[in-house]
Chains A and B, each alone.
Chain A
């Protein structure tokens, strides 16, 4: 145990030595190097004792393999009561919450939607996609470009953005289909970066690093939302005092609707042959092939449908912000969405929603501790992976049954290998 801890400390020293130990400061003449041995010592000591504590804690616990069925059952129980509560609290939110909270709600719901979309690809089909943000970007830029060049409104562009993103999903799918596991992850990661870099450099079309602004806002059956009111505005039509918060509330319901649509479609697909084929693919690709399932088509549909929802979310993002730039579509976004899916429990809809609330909502609240956000984020990930390696709400409910549906523990499931 001591040896293990010492080894960890050594690794920590190797890592932290240069990273924490050396600090550059702009001096009078040139950049000066400052040595910080004490800081390194603290960090290494923290790792040493942390590792020791972890090992001690683990050795006191019997091997945690106890009654997965019971845990899964308990989670199903929690889910049955928590889902309606969360749903009602969300739907009524604009009636009791202040503007700040509604804005935060919109942000969280966007990530919930992205999480549910990615869950189709990663949770159901078992394809590890690290470049999901690419489709989000395609959706956002599709809407912005179509709206600005052809003058089409949000509701016309929304399906187009989804279709275009799905198209790119298929395009990405083709070359990477043969790859599995880590290789797939790396290629999708690269794809995400390629899309971003193209957007960044194709300045004549996308405005490059300056982004695109003046993206039209959505309307409600032709009624516009603006602070001035006037002919054809929402406030005028309903005889209300013009207020910008109408638009915020409207956006809130739009994203709530979109997120619920994502949820409905993925829950429904799970019970249909296509969704079942995705899960079968995650469990065992070779067996699928032996049963005459076209693995290529099945994977491509997972990519395409997952991408389409990212495209919808992207179009929403563009219309909400009225401004987009490549900065919003960096790898960290993919990582956050993937973390939401993994933390929530692969394949679990409620888990993903809760993880998004905790990570995005919680993250916003920690804004004051800006510097520590990533630290807390990373720490939370590590803790969850140690305590519940399959995510908080893992396991699955059978898609069909003759008797009563019993939840299947995650220990029997396979994550998929690509």
Chain B
């Protein structure tokens, strides 16, 4: 069992009178896939938005501890620093690619901070100074590795917006991985995929977790409705309902928990649990 990577402590998020996340605590451990599940509106995306700095939590602490023991308090970092220094990357429930840019360009934008450590460096590059050429070659190599890992090599020069849906989902993951994250947060990556594509996706996520046949490895925090995917690949599952944690454990424990079944039955989504 890995060391705690992300610890969420009494996280609360209020929108006016609505309590979207209510005193939530859980841990995501290094080297694991932690799934966050729950009916629609349970507050899963809100948790992600708090972790990645898009929302400032009303209360609570988000602590991140890297493998080298570097410690970050995410609640007091500006959004882009959470990715840059905290090494947390994410994807979005409704895909957010740079549609008018090619697959390769999308993957290079993700390596922006490596390619351009600061503005002075970025401006020097106009005059061919600052070793930009070498950095760009390395970045392209890395992009190639991720295109290979996600099966997008043939699409390298196509605009992201013209890709089929499944490819777009995988590209978003490849793009997030190009930032070299320690924690990869995926918001419903299997939504809208057919069974074969979901299988490939599960496979990819496991490879990313284990650093097998891919260009980097990362622990994963996964929001997913497809219970097949969740049960197959997660090491640890957290169940939310109405902003509260109702269960927390291994997939087998979750499947047997009557509270989880009740929450899903209440939503009329029993077939999802049955899967």
**Known contacts A273-B115, A276-B112, A398-B157, A290 near B89 by CB under 8 Å:** yes
User: Nearest Cβ distance between residue A112 and chain B, in whole angstroms?
Assistant: 20
Q: Are A288 and B157 neighbours in the complex by a CB distance under 8 Å?
A: no
Q: Are B126 and A291 neighbours in the complex by a CB distance under 8 Å?
A: no
**Is the CB of A210 closer than 8 A to any CB of chain B?**
no
Q: Are B100 and A396 neighbours in the complex by a CB distance under 8 Å?
A: yes
**Residues in B whose Cβ lies below 8 Å from that of A283:** 97-101
The residue from B80, B108, B123, B162 contacting A274, defined by CB atoms under 8 A apart: B123
Q: Are A292 and B104 neighbours in the complex by a CB distance under 8 Å?
A: no
**Is the CB of A404 closer than 8 A to any CB of chain B?**
yes
| Extra contacts besides A287-B92, A290-B79 (8): CB < 8 Å | A269-B126, A273-B108, A273-B112, A286-B92, A290-B52, A292-B179, A398-B102, A400-B108
**Residues in B whose Cβ lies below 8 Å from that of A291:** 83, 89, 109-110, 112, 175-176, 179
Chain B, 80-100, CB within 8 A of any chain A CB: 80-84, 89-90, 92, 96-100
Q: Are B99 and A290 neighbours in the complex by a CB distance under 8 Å?
A: no
- A residues apposed to B, CB below 8 Å: 265, 268-269, 272-274, 276-277, 279-280, 283-284, 286-295, 297, 301, 396, 398-406, 408, 410, 412-414
The residue from B97, B144, B162 contacting A284, defined by CB atoms under 8 A apart: B97
**Is the CB of B263 closer than 8 A to any CB of chain A?**
no
- Per the bound structure, the CA–CA distance linking A286 and B79 in Å amounts to 10
Q: Are A287 and B96 neighbours in the complex by a CB distance under 8 Å?
A: yes
User: What 0/1 pattern do residues 62 to 90 of B give for CB contact below 8 A with A?
Assistant: 00000000000000000111111000011
Q: Are B102 and A408 neighbours in the complex by a CB distance under 8 Å?
A: yes
**Is the CB of B39 closer than 8 A to any CB of chain A?**
no
**Residues in B whose Cβ lies below 8 Å from that of A273:** 108, 112, 115-116, 122, 125, 132
**Is the CB of B140 closer than 8 A to any CB of chain A?**
yes
Q: Are B116 and A277 neighbours in the complex by a CB distance under 8 Å?
A: yes
- Per the bound structure, the CA–CA distance linking A209 and B257 in Å amounts to 80
A/B interface sample: 30 pairs, CB < 8 A: A269-B126, A272-B116, A272-B122, A272-B132, A273-B115, A273-B116, A274-B123, A274-B125, A276-B108, A276-B112, A280-B101, A283-B98, A283-B99, A287-B97, A288-B109, A289-B80, A290-B52, A290-B89, A292-B81, A292-B83, A292-B113, A400-B140, A401-B102, A402-B144, A402-B156, A404-B157, A408-B100, A408-B159, A413-B100, A414-B99
**Residues in B whose Cβ lies below 8 Å from that of A289:** 53-54, 79-80, 83
User: Nearest Cβ distance between residue B102 and chain A, in whole angstroms?
Assistant: 5
Q: Are A272 and B126 neighbours in the complex by a CB distance under 8 Å?
A: yes
- Per the bound structure, the CA–CA distance linking A396 and B156 in Å amounts to 16
- Chain A, Cβ-Cβ closest to B102: A398
